[in-house]
Amino acid sequence: SKAMLETLAVIAYKQPITRLEIDEIRGVNSSSAVKALLDRNLIRVAGRKDVPGKPLLYVTTNNFLEYFGIVDLSDLPTLREWQELKER
């Protein structure tokens, strides 16, 4: 779904990241998208952030890299590359 793809992109570019931080970036609640991505093993819990409440931190998995044919996170397109692709 579009929500899952947006959530996955936020995690991929900002990891490690909490669900609240994802929600702030997207402007909507991402709980169901995060759960679905966890169920599909595209993201995983990487620990807890050292702030009050100790929220979970999410990162992408090796399955994410394999699914999208990426060797390393540095292979992700930059914002400029995305804009160039959109203009085509």
Local confidence band at 4 (pLDDT 50, 70, 90 cut-offs): very high
Are the CB atoms for 79 and 14 separated by under 8 Å?
Answer: no
Rounded to an integer, what is the distance from CA 41 to the centroid of its chain? 12
- Do the beta carbons of residue 18 and residue 56 sit within 8 Å? yes
Model pLDDT for residues 20-69, shown as the tens digit of each residue = 999 999 999 999 999 999 999 999 999 999 999 999 999 999 999 999 89
Residue 56 in tokens: 């979970």
* pLDDT level of residue 83 (50, 70, 90 thresholds): confident
Locate the DSSP E strands across the chain: 43-48, 56-60
pLDDT at 12: 93
**How does residue 82 score in pLDDT terms, banded at 50, 70 and 90?**
confident
Lookup: tokens for 8: 């996955």
Sign of the CA dihedral 87, 8, 16, 30? Answer: positive
Tokens of 29: 């609640």
